[in-house]
């Protein structure tokens, strides 16, 4: 007989950067974990240390196809999250967000399971409100190069709320802002991993635009804690809830900090700004503070040091 406090949790996208950390935390809590991934951007390397865990199961599956398992909670993290990856096959990216949401919601409906959607700050587009609050509807180009991800995630949120209203499904919607940490993909094109890899390998550090655009960077451990706290709330709290770091940095400041922390000789060079790239991105986390008693704990320098150490090992360099 299974322990009544032990839950069976499905993590879609569980071999990815965020998903692998979430799988670890759920196992640490004593739960059973079914890790689902099609390995388009996820990697077995991220979860290989879990493969022999007695409460961990790995399934190779694409969420655009229906799934039949028995679980208590579902975390839907399945979707490429970096521009390099989601623009590689934009049609599949939209399918993953929309068909994936339909299939995960259908599973939750059949099981009467609680389900969390990993949404994104990209639903705000290039925002005209700063910082971004959850009641802001966004400023998104629906036909741009980023729309496959932005609009896919917006449609997924629509589906979650309609399943909640129509089928009384127990949903949680979390809007994730820029997150970084160990297990980021080295070639995903995201700014933290880009800069660290370039700095460690002595290549030019490429800034798009003049580097004055701002982002807020949340360490992965804090992000996962926010996801767990949201899933643990009662059924009256459904979201959306911003989960991210409200402290802004310019991209140029980030590049300079990484050069300093890696003792790199890399030179910062400037390239044209991609289309629809937002100039500002920073969360208002009042809801997370009030509803989840959550805010980030890891300072940027501390998180960058841990991430740099990870990439040192990944690239086969001795840690400094």
In sequence order, what are the residues at sequence separation of 6 or more whose Cβ sits closer than 8 angstroms to the Cβ of residue 123? Answer: 138, 140, 150, 153, 154, 157, 175
129 SS3 class: coil
Q: C-alpha angle with apex 254: 177 to 191, nearest 5 degrees? A: 55
Identify whether 313 is preceded by a cis peptide bond (ω within 30 of 0). Answer: no
Active site residue 149: yes
Considering the candidates 149, 180, 219, 310, report the single residue annotated as catalytic. Answer: 149
Name the nearest CA neighbour of 110 among 41, 179, 10.
10
The number of CA neighbours under 13 Å toward the Cβ of 66 is 6
End-to-end CA distance of the chain: 49
In sequence order, what are the residues at sequence separation of 6 or more whose Cβ sits closer than 8 angstroms to the Cβ of residue 135? Answer: none
Which residue numbers are catalytic? 149
């Amino acid at each position: 007989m299974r322990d009544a406090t032990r839950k069976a949790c499905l993590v879609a996208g569980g071999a990815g950067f965020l998903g692998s950390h979430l799988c670890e935390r759920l196992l640490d809590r004593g739960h059973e974990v079914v890790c689902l991934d099609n390995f388009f951007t996820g990697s077995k390397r991220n979860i290989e240390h879990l493969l022999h865990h007695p409460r961990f199961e790995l399934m190779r599956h694409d969420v655009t196809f229906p799934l039949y398992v028995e679980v208590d909670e579902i975390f839907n993290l399945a979707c490429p999250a970096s521009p390099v990856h989601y623009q590689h096959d934009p049609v599949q990216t939209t399918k993953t967000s929309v068909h994936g949401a339909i299939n995960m919601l259908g599973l939750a409906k059949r099981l009467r399971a609680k389900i969390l959607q990993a949404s994104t700050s990209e639903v705000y587009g290039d925002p005209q409100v700063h910082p971004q609050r959850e009641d802001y509807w966004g400023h998104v180009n629906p036909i741009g190069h980023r729309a496959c991800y932005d609009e896919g995630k917006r449609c997924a949120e629509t589906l979650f709320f309609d399943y909640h209203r129509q089928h009384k499904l127990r949903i949680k919607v979390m809007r994730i802002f820029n997150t970084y940490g160990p297990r980021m993909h080295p070639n995903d094109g995201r700014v933290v991993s880009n800069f660290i890899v370039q700095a460690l390998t002595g290549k030019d550090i490429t800034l798009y635009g003049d580097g004055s655009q701002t982002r807020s960077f949340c360490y992965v451990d804090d992000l996962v804690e926010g996801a767990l706290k949201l899933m643990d709330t009662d059924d009256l709290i459904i979201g959306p809830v911003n989960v991210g770091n409200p402290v802004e940095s310019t991209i140029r400041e980030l590049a300079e900090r990484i050069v300093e922390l890696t003792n790199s000789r890399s030179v910062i060079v400037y390239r044209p700004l991609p289309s629809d790239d937002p100039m500002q991105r920073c969360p208002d986390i009042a809801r997370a503070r009030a509803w989840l008693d959550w805010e980030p704990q890891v300072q940027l320098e501390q998180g960058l040091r841990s991430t740099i150490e990870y990439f040192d090992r990944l690239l086969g360099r001795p840690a400094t």
